[in-house]
Chains A and B, each alone.
Chain A
């Protein structure tokens, strides 16, 4: 943010941003229609992974700590939520509260140890912890995690609150919010409401003195230490907050589909959230959510393609050429959609380190420059600033 704005100006802009964000999220079922993504299952994933990425951005984007183990908190959130369903009630509220609490405590423990080191050492420590959790969830903790078969709701669960209120039922109940089933659009709007709340909290954090402190840690931790600021509590707070966000996302995953498996905690899953944040724009408010939407959208679209759809798409080409084109594009879609992901990853880091948001800003700057040529120099400083803060 440039100093040219008055504080009131920033607040007004933030309110506009929040309202715009809320409107865009809530109307997703409408404007996602032309992209073929307007079905609730996918929209739910957009919202959930949006929360995950927004939280991750508080640690990585604001504070500058690259964690490669955040999927562990997602997994812990999922397991906690399913256990809340099993033991207490299939109402989603307690499940989500517990998921956030437990993953927050978990993040406190891991962050307390990992944050003793910074830079690449921190990344490796978080990676080591996450791999530990993943391996334990698969093997020794089977009584809690149900190992490879994944944890799910069964008919024999106690569900204390449910039986106390409405008596035992023979059926396996669906997860609900006071009777409103978390399937389809109600599920999406529940996630969307939480996403907007998560966005609001992230925005307040980013604008607060605490957020400024996090940014200071990112830009030069040594200088802060020399001036007598003890930075670790701030970094730890950022770590725990991002862990709570991840736990919330994990809990929501369990709410929409009450199943928790260990593969959610694998380190490639941690890599995915890093990618989302980078793709959208590190350190920006909207970026991580955009990144999550783009990745989940691409995953959905590209992995659904098969040779048949490709043949019909390129049917207008002459036969020989058609086969070649289908062969080549076939590498990038369906089973091979990860190739697209990897290539996208590289292209982005090489050519657009600021992510989509920087692309938008560059285009915006270009347009501004066309409109008012003398101001181009002033405008051009903005992307450079954000690139500098990304280092």
Chain B
């Protein structure tokens, strides 16, 4: 029972990341009709926004170390600490959450630039061409990150306040031994918050209404004299920001390296297909569903029954669902069916 609760939490966590990436992918499918294989790379870039924030916050000055008297020794002390002492140190500690401040404008800029410069010219091309060009873009982005940050994973600590584990067990009347890292709980609630924000934006704003109408029937919306192209650019930007935020906040769980996006890309495509192309709700539901299934499959009890199931459960489920429900769990007719 205890183990099951833990795996459920693990699954919610992983599912949160899958759902966020898949949400962005589906937004792009649904509105622009473009298959974006660079989405995993954008998730990765979000992770490196956090790395950059940390680098910026810890910009240091060499200061002579007075405690060493025998010879001259220098230590590097971050400017923030020099200026503000304790407060500065605390700010550095919060580099991962603070990285959101950097990630939002940067990812928005990247998203708009990609849409204007590249994706725009691929609306009328085949899906194969879209896959290929975005696959190329993903490789380029990866290599640029590798050249500037190196190939090794960069550990990113969560803020000290949430460094430990939460005694989740005692909250819900299980044994105290059931504990779960605080940051993962934070990530789960963060993903729920971002998903809710995106849904609220699409549901309750005029902009969102137009976008939803455009997802249904782009031409008719255009006939009303609405500049749907410009709105779609913004939608692409939002999708990229969502991916970037998912990546930035995920860094304390998975140290970012240049190919972290590729693994998530394949999985989130499977998530999108299982949820149903063009269905935002489906993407989120399938994200959490597959995340939970995957973490339950990695329990030792299950693994001893069916060895290797944890590695392939997601793909098995995807194949099964596609064969039984060709449009995925909540797919709409006519999206990406040619």
Contacts and interface: CB of A to CB of B under 8 A. Distances in A.
A342 B139 contact: yes
B126 A342 contact: no
Given A124-B270, A342-B139, A136 B322 contact: no
Contact of A342 (B137, B269, B270, B336): B137
Contacts of B127: 66, 119-120, 123
A135 B336 contact: no
Given A66-B128, A124-B270, A140 B308 contact: yes
B105 interface: no
A120 B128 CA distance: 8
Contacts of B262: 268
Nearest to A140: B308
Given A128-B270, A336-B146, A343 B136 contact: yes
5 contacts: A121-B337, A127-B266, A129-B315, A346-B118, A349-B133
A119 B336 CA distance: 7
B143 A353 contact: no
Interface string A338-364: 110111111001100100000000000
A125 B146 CA distance: 30
Given A339-B147, A349-B132, A135 B137 contact: no
A179 to B, nearest CB: 41
B100 to A, nearest CB: 28
Contact of B323 (A68, A116, A132, A138): A116
A391 interface: yes
Interface of A: 60, 66, 68, 113, 116-121, 123-125, 127-129, 131-132, 135-136, 138-141, 267-268, 271, 274-275, 278, 331, 335-336, 338-339, 341-346, 349-350, 353, 390-391
A120 B132 CA distance: 12
A336 B143 contact: yes
A353 B269 CA distance: 25
B140 A124 contact: no
Contacts of A60: 128
Given A66-B131, A127-B266, A336-B143, A121 B336 contact: yes
Contacts of A268: 262
B75 interface: no
B285 interface: no
B142 interface: yes
User: Binding site of A, secondary structure by majority: helix, strand, loop or mixed?
Assistant: helix
Contacts of B316: 132
B129 interface: yes
B271 to A, nearest CB: 10
B308 A139 contact: yes
Contacts of B307: 139-140
A325 B266 CA distance: 36
A349 B318 CA distance: 30
B320 to A, nearest CB: 10
Nearest to B326: A117
Contacts of B337: 118-119, 121
Considering the complex of A and B, which 9 residue pairs feature the smallest CB-CB distances, nearest first? Answer: A342-B139, A140-B308, A345-B136, A339-B143, A135-B311, A346-B136, A342-B140, A128-B315, A349-B133
Nearest to A347: B136
A316 to B, nearest CB: 25
B338 A119 contact: yes
Contacts of B149: none
B319 interface: yes
A119 B262 CA distance: 21
B135 A345 contact: yes
B313 to A, nearest CB: 10
Given A119-B336, A124-B273, A274-B132, 15 more contacts: A66-B128, A113-B319, A119-B338, A123-B131, A127-B266, A128-B270, A132-B311, A136-B308, A139-B311, A268-B262, A342-B139, A345-B139, A346-B133, A349-B133, A350-B121
B126 A390 contact: yes
Interface string B111-143: 000000010010001111101110111111011
A119 B126 CA distance: 10
B147 A331 contact: yes
A119 B140 CA distance: 25
B122 to A, nearest CB: 8
A124 B274 CA distance: 10
Interface residues of B, number: 43
Contacts of A132: 311-312, 315-316
B31 to A, nearest CB: 16
Residue from B131, B136, B273, B311 having most chain A Cβ neighbours under 10 A: B136
A342 B138 CA distance: 8
Contact of A121 (B118, B273, B311): B273
B277 interface: yes
A338 B311 contact: no
B316 to A, nearest CB: 7
Interface string B41-53: 0000000000000
A128 B314 CA distance: 9
A341 B133 contact: no
B147 A336 contact: yes
Contacts of B129: 349, 353
B269 A124 contact: yes
A136 B143 contact: no
Nearest to B129: A349
B146 A350 contact: no
A105 to B, nearest CB: 18
Contact of A136 (B269, B312, B326): B312
Contact of B139 (A123, A124, A140, A338): A338
Given A121-B336, A331-B147, A339-B144, A131 B315 contact: yes
A229 to B, nearest CB: 18
Contacts of A341: 139
A120 B316 CA distance: 18
B311 A136 contact: yes
A175 to B, nearest CB: 31
Contacts of B135: 271, 345
Contacts of B125: 353, 391
